[in-house]
A and B are shown apart, each in its own frame.
Chain A
Amino acid sequence: MSSNSVIVCLAALAATAAVAYAQPAGVTAVGRVIDIAGAPIAGARVGFEGSTAHTTTDRTGWFTLSAPVGTTLVIEHDGDEVGLAVVTGGPIDDVVLRSLDAGGETIEMVGEKPVEAPGGAALDRAELQRMPGTGGDVVQTLRVMPGVTNVEVPIGLTGVPIRGSSPQDSRILVDGFEIPILFHGIAFRSVLPAETIRSLDYLPGGFDVSYGRATSGVVAITTRAGDERRSVQGELSVLDGGLLAQGSAGKRTRYLAAIRRSTIDLVLPSLLPSDLDLTLTTVPNYYDAQLRIDHRLDDRWRLWLSGLGATDTAELYTTKDTDQRTKRFYAHTAFARLTAGASYHDGSWTANLALSGVVTRYDFAQGAEQKLQGTLPNVTPRIEVIRTLGTVAGLTNIEIHGGAEAQVGRYSADIATGTEDREGEAPKAWDPHDMSTTYHGEFWVPDFAQWAATSANLEAKIRATVGVRADELARTGEVLLQPRGQLEFKVSPQWIARISSGAYRRPPEYQSELLQDKLDSERASQHIASVQWDPREGTRVQGSAYYTDRTHLITHEMDGSLGNQGRGTTVGGELLATHRAGPWFAWLSYTYAHSQRVDHPGDDSRLFSYDQPHNLNAAASWKRGRWQLGGRFQLHSGLPYTPATGAVFDNDRNLYVPTYGEPNSARAPLHHQLDLRVDYSWRWGPTALTAFLDVQNVYMNTSPITYAYSYDYTQSTTVTSLPIVPTIGLRGIL
């Protein structure tokens, strides 16, 4: 079942650009001016010192100007900082202008963006869409990050496994607040189209005290403000289709709104064999919607509103007879988050205020009896204040920041189902009458957090950050103190070394953990050392080594309840090299990791379910003229699994109860594949068109990704990934 996709982007841009320039002797400099989100900036003035000659960028951000080699171009645009570029005689790199109204947010040119944590990485929207083999999707792009386990088919996952941790141990933040679901249930598409994203920050560990509720990593996605120019953009593919509208309302307000709906449900029924005992009464489908409004109140205050929602629904019967409730499977998930924020910046003071609310709804039914329904609304007010100081007591470049938030939710659940499988547990036989987990009721979950940190230069080349975070979980009665610190050594202009240590906590809120109010939070101590080398502008190499010790891991007790007796360790090393210069964007990441667990005191240690010792991603993209070519090679270890050794027939329930070998004692084989991408751009009248072909797994290497057993476990087979996944599309800007 390969899936071809065709993306057609229709855009309407209303702008004209007058081009008036004199032409001194020299070469013809051609370049493009974009904002930090990668959107072209029209009307920017491009000139050079010592001359009155200048030009302005056209509606696609491009400019052409004759200038002597070695001249420094000065690019100016209202509302943005001044940009510079040097005329070399060759193509000029995209000039990125930073908005002056960025307020207190830390927004810097992405190509040179400093990492927020040792081993971290950042990508902007253009790079997210340029990475070969990802189809421009955020979820797929995360798989190239060092430290992320490359799970080829993330069935059942709500996040990403990072540095030997379960997906629920990391946090996926959009505009600073967590989203409960990262990707849709079909096609594993992100709930956020890349077109709505400004940047993605990947912090695999060692993050500062303003981030909490995670024992592993953080993925912080920032949505983008709408373009200054009003436009409407449409998109249609075999997977989904959507509309995006953006523009400005007055000089101070920008807006962006987008909605997307799956289209694969229109195609899927025709792909299924007619004699299959299956009826898709609600063909798997999804919707998502995004909203962003930015308003610059004055020179100090900036207001913003960010909204995101997604819904997935599927209903099927494993029979042609839809009156048979015993053969029904229903799944519906939905969430909506709305965040209002205000940023203040004046001199040495910066403040960020936000109020965010989210409602999450789960509704699953399997057969006539088993169900899992839950509604989880919560509200989070948050305040953070940052003060910078010059010199105090011999310390320089001091930054003090503190913050607080309250996350208050009232959750309701109606559950009647079997016992869930947790990490490391082999799957149980499905019994439609199993009601070993039942719950019906409502409960409050009031959590509070405060944090404070100080950063300062101890001397010119040494910067220290120390902080502490305190989480109070009223439901579990815990007060969680988490001290964290980092030392940064600027060894030379090109070399930076960092060491970091800290305590991290994850509240018990995954699956049925919420139903038990006596569970403790999971705990982790992270210790990271990293080195960063920037040999030249646009090129960065960073290496990290880390050790994580985990305690209080939540595991099943003998009586089926949950306890905090698990322990675990992860040790690993990562390498990330990036190159952004001229026509080239290149990415090389390698991860070594070894992660183990002990589920109960006295148990043998076992491999973590997402233990992936080796993970290599090498990608390169080259752009020249109308062509953009890219390739990506992946090589990674298979994941551990627990082999079934036999089964005992349970006559009463008419099913086979499997017996298993040692947990995670076998491993799927190594997988490798090559992905290629080709883009070709041209103009058709007033429309700029780009056609692209993105092919995953071009030499069709189908490695096993999991194993399936027959009903009585006497036979097994491999489930392999799709041999080849081509994606073809067309994008147009009018």
Chain B
Amino acid sequence: MKALVLVTLLVGCAGDLDEPWQLDHDRIVAIRATPPRMPAETTSLLEVLVANAGSATSARAPDSVEVVSPPGLAGAVVGATVIAPSETELAIARAELGLTAGAPVPLILAVTANGFAATKTVWLGEAATNPPLADVQIAGSEPGAELLLPGATKIPLAVTAVDGTDNVTWLTSCGTMHDFDLSRAYLRIEPEGPQDGELALVVRDPRGGVSWRVWRLGVRP
């Protein structure tokens, strides 16, 4: 995207493409495993956040999940559930991957949902939780389930996260998002664009944890 910006600045004349923050676009937005890291012989549930052009974003179970790596743990997934194998099987997997004893084992999964393909890594052999969405502030206050925001003004968005370490994504189907990949972003909803839609926030931490939240959004008259 940065390259495209530079090319466009230097050359001009590139057509319109959907921005990465555009929620009105068919895609997988995020995949969450709860928990993202799990000790031997425990389970984790997979969910997919799917954006749909022209309709609401939804969190749903994946259509299919398959183990890509390591091949020896191909049976570690049943439906949308990851079942961490025993310590003995994890030790074999570590040897297969050349990992040190006790190291967490990355289980790389191929996930499909709504016709789209994605990969997701779940870590086996240690425990972790998905990150909390702490101190979310929209237009200066903690948001409820639905948002009624002013139009034609800069609406500040904020979440507690470490930029560059945590991966933050703000998405919307109403208005224009600025700094969509920073913990502090802002939104502008112009009168000539859609006056209602959704706002979503996805935060990924460096340990594979994923959290999200989606709000219905409208413009205050």
Contact = CB atoms under 8 A, between A and B. Distances in A.
A654 B167 contact: yes
B210 interface: yes
B31 A719 contact: no
A18 to B, nearest CB: 53
B27 A712 contact: yes
B4 A368 contact: no
A321 interface: yes
Interface in B163-197: 163-164, 167, 169, 176, 178-179, 182, 184, 188
A275 B154 CA distance: 11
Interface in A427-485: 427, 430
Contact of A719 (B7, B16, B25): B7
Nearest to A280: B9
Interface residues of B, number: 47
Interface stretch (B83-91, B116-124, B144-152): B116-124
B58 to A, nearest CB: 16
B129 to A, nearest CB: 17
A652 B9 CA distance: 30
Contacts of B101: none
A652 to B, nearest CB: 5
Contacts of A706: 7
A301 interface: no
A711 interface: yes
A325 interface: yes
Contacts of A324: 163, 179, 182
B142 to A, nearest CB: 23
Interface string A299-314: 0000000000000000
Contacts of A369: 164
Interface string B1-44: 11111111111111111111000011110110000000000000
B2 A719 contact: no
B208 interface: yes
A319 B179 contact: yes
Contact of A327 (B30, B182, B204): B182
B16 A717 contact: yes
Given A153-B10, A155-B10, A705-B11, A430 B2 contact: yes
A430 B3 contact: yes
Contacts of A359: none
Contacts of A277: 178-179
Interface string B203-221: 0100010100000000000
A428 B70 CA distance: 24
Q: Is the interface of A mostly helix, strand, loop or mixed?
A: loop
Contacts of A654: 30, 167, 169, 202, 204
Interface stretch (A96-104, A121-129, A407-415, A720-728): A720-728
A153 B178 CA distance: 29
Interface string A625-652: 0000000000000000000000011111
A651 B119 contact: yes
Contacts of B27: 649, 712, 714
A715 B4 CA distance: 13
Contacts of A652: 119-121, 204, 208
A1 to B, nearest CB: 5
Given A652-B121, A711-B20, A321 B14 contact: no
A718 interface: yes
Contacts of A155: 6-7, 10
Nearest to A705: B11
B11 A719 contact: yes
Interface string B101-127: 000000000010000111111000000
B41 to A, nearest CB: 24
Nearest 5 interchain pairs by C-beta: A717-B15, A649-B118, A710-B17, A711-B20, A651-B31
Given A649-B116, A715-B18, 14 more contacts: A153-B7, A275-B178, A368-B164, A649-B117, A650-B119, A651-B121, A651-B210, A702-B13, A708-B17, A710-B17, A712-B20, A714-B25, A715-B17, A720-B12
30 contacts: A153-B10, A318-B5, A319-B178, A321-B179, A326-B163, A327-B179, A367-B164, A368-B164, A427-B3, A648-B117, A649-B117, A651-B111, A651-B118, A652-B119, A652-B204, A654-B30, A654-B202, A654-B204, A702-B13, A708-B17, A710-B18, A711-B19, A715-B17, A715-B18, A718-B14, A718-B15, A719-B8, A720-B11, A722-B12, A722-B13
